[in-house]
Amino acid sequence: MSNRPTVLIVDDEMRSLEAVERTIDDEFAVRTASGAAEAERILAEDWVQVVISDQRMPGTSGIEFLKGVRERWPEVIRMIISGYTDPGDIIEGINEAGIYQYITKPWHPDQLLLAVRNAARLYQLQREYDLLAVEAKVAAPVLERQLAQRREQLKRIFRMEEIVRAEGSPLDEICGLTRRIAGYDIVVLVTGESGTGKELFARALHYNSLRADKPFVVENCGALPDPLLESELFGHKRGAFTGAICDRVGLFEQADGGTVFLDEIGEISPAFQVKLLRVLQGGEIRPLGSNQRRMVNVRVIAATNRDLAEEVRAGRFREDLYYRLSVMHVHLPPLRARPMDVPLLAKRALEWAVKLHGKPVKGFTDEAIAFMQDYGWPGNVRELENEVQRMLVLADGEYLGKELLSAPICASGQRGGEALCSSPWAGGSLRERVEKMEAHILQEVLIRHGWNKSRAAAELGLSRVGLRSKVERYGLERKLDS
């Protein structure tokens, strides 16, 4: 059986029939018939993709024959060849017989061959479309089920219990706060150094909220100039600027019903701050180049590694926008403020790296973990994850030892060991030493923040009441203000 498309030629004139057959038989499997009755018998017993019929034939005309073909075999592509160009025949053929192409005699072989090729391709496209339509109907419930399962998986991943931390970690209080505010439709400002997990907590807020089944979209506000950022967030109309060749739906509309996460919000210009303030105030956006405003229902979560209060005092950030964004403020402490979390974070990072690179190891040596806990991690969790990947790639044994650590981490661990022997809290019982260390840390943080208890408490992961209690306990009330 031939894999070539089958073409049926119907003509009562033998020489015309043979001429068409010679033109196309190199590329197509050809069947021939001298009349409508014979042609219908062939259509009933063979799989035909294209029918080419003469118009003027004894008994049944080509158009009458093809009208019948349309009713019984509608998927077959129908063509007419005729030496007569009666407009009435052409109109009737198009309207009633669904003619794909009307070819007049004398025809050119190349033109005829091209027309038959296009007809066969059209038949194939129709078949593929029909199969896809059937597949879509069958697949819709499966896709809906998979989408629901994916949403449930994301909800599990971003539960507060899944955020990696040790018992007594400063993140405990942060996770408790996040859990309490997640269900309320308020704007949240997440602050913290780069790499502390601001996007992680933004996703946790979304997937623990009533909007969890709606989109969560992310935009890095520091990566784009104002015009492109406005287009990304609010969309644009065709012709709004050079290169705008079609309409574009912005992220605020794409996230309708869900959450928009604006990362690096402290980087936006004063001019764009005004536009964002209008959106937060009225819930309306106006695409670039459009005169119409559109209502959107989104929750906004913003993040920055800057001190926005200081930016406001310096005149670089609008005060009204700051208060719009900081309805609820979540500050993430740096990794150096929670060394107890380092072993668990390193373990999780190693599990991920092992899956990524397919190089199994059993874990870290105790000495490596000790050095990692002594290090300050200026790049925070992101730096830790990169370090673990590096160690895994260089490893030859079953455990990752301190010899695989980067030089700064090794040097930090050595300095920490030397400092511990001569530190001001070296003498006394364990409790006395811990209290001296805690008092020293509290004083250092308070001095660095100008004795502002709100910012100091946020960095240390304490409540204001908790901080004040410790300050009074260690006699550090001096200069403490609100």
pLDDT higher than 80, residue 434: no
pLDDT in tens, 44-57: 988 999 999 988 88
Percent of the chain with pLDDT over 90: 54
Band of residue 97 on the pLDDT scale cut at 50, 70, 90: confident
83-105: average pLDDT: 74
pLDDT at 420: 44
pLDDT (tens digit, 9 = 90+) per residue, 224-256?
888 899 999 999 998 888 878 888 899 999 999
Q: What confidence category does residue 482 fall into, taking pLDDT thresholds of 50, 70 and 90?
A: very low
With cut-offs at 50, 70 and 90, classify the pLDDT of residue 479.
very low
What is the per-residue pLDDT for 86?
66
User: pTM of the full predicted structure?
Assistant: 0.60
Mean pLDDT of the region 88-100:
73
User: Of the given ranges (164-178, 346-360, 378-392, 408-422), which has the lowest mean pLDDT?
Assistant: 408-422
Least trusted range by pLDDT, from 356-365, 401-410, 442-451: 442-451
Tokens of 79: 């063509």
pLDDT at 85: 64
131-184 pLDDT, tens digit each? 787 777 766 677 777 777 887 888 888 888 889 999 989 999 999 999 999 999
Mean pLDDT of 331-351: 94
Look at residue 311 and tell me whether its pLDDT is greater than 90: yes
| Residue indicated by tokens 């109907």 | 137
Averaged pLDDT, 122-129: 88
Examine the pLDDT at 424 and tell me if it is beyond 70.
no
Average pLDDT, the chain: 87
pLDDT score at 426: 56
